[in-house]
Amino acid sequence: MDEAKLREEICRFGRSLFERGLTPGSSGNISLRLDDGGWLVTPTNASLGFLDPARISRLDGQGRLLSGDAPTKEIPLHNALYESRSGARAIVHLHSTHAVALSMLPEIDPRAVLPPLTPYYLMRAGQTALVPYFRPGDPAVADAIRSLAGRYSSVLLANHGPVVAGETLEAAVFATEELEETAKLYLLLRGLNPRHLSPAQVADLVKVFGLTLPEHDHDHG
């Protein structure tokens, strides 16, 4: 896909996420890795619902701005996930309500913030790690993500929101949406002792779909 089409794709998915209330105001950002090692990334203080393809930030492989508006201040967190996930070509970061709420709960396991509630959460998002709170744009968040050693494609920033990598922008968006919906399910079912997928059921998904789950043998129940 050429760069013009990639710019349009960022705008199309950004508008879809914004219009469905998955990231309010000017929150959230999207990036794409290009074949030359550079990036396309949404600008700082830009609403994902009103992106202009021509104003999307174009960065070189060292993160220097080549054209477009100034990029999101969350560049360090995108860069850290790209560095640790070699297959990642797109990253979506949202401030989606249920995932943010989940990040504040005291009982969640930082190695796997959600139990295995549905097969599609595991198939799209894998497991999700919790990263401690850092102020937005703090370069220290990059070190926290690098410390996960690339085991996770989806990360939840405490009191902030999800960051999800994918092989394509579509894959990253779908995984982010699955994470948000599963967080919503968790909050709806909290305290009701719901049935989770059993270890055998999770192992079957891992085998059939070739999943790599860093905590798939972890007992959540």
Residues identified as active-site: 120
Helix, strand, or coil (residue 164): strand
- Which structure tokens are listed for 34? 């290009």
Task: Answer yes or no: are the C-beta atoms of 80 and 142 closer than 8 Å.
Answer: yes
Q: Do the bridges between strand 128-131 and strand 90-93 make them parallel or antiparallel, or are there none, so unpaired?
A: unpaired
Residues 6+ apart with CB under 8 A from 210: none
d(CA 82, CA 59) in angstroms, rounded, equals 14
Q: Which residue has the tokens 């309010």?
A: 24
d(CA 31, CA 145) in angstroms, rounded, equals 16
Beta bridge partners of 130: 156
